[in-house]
Amino acid sequence: MAVRLPKIPKVRVRADLKLQGGSGMSGQVFVEATSRIQDLLNAPEPFFPFVDETGIVHLINKISVVQITPHD
């Protein structure tokens, strides 16, 4: 039987995302409650979900990210 580790809850962080090619969007990124956006970008998974202001979920390839600016 596989061991199930407890899940760390995720929180939404409002941010502006700028991608290669100059496109960008505003929305929310999901990070673990004890982590930062930097930790998400440094994690081994190549993609992360980003919800834009209209509620559409985008899977963002980390390689294409130029900048993420969190809202305070």
Q: Residues 44-55: pLDDT tens digits? A: 999 999 999 999
DSSP class of residue 38 equals H
**Low pLDDT (below 70) residues in the chain:** 1
Residue 45 has what pLDDT? 95
> 3-class DSSP state for residue 29?
strand
Question: Comparing C-alpha atoms, which of 8, 67, 59 is closest to residue 37?
Answer: 67
* Domain 10-70, second-level architecture: Roll (2.30)
Residue 6 has what pLDDT? 80
What are the residue ranges spanned by the domains of the chain? 10-70
Residue 28 has what pLDDT? 97
Phi/psi for 71 (5° steps) reads: -85, 145
The span from the CA of 29 to the CA of 14, in Å, is 7
Per the listing, tokens 């982590």 go with: 35
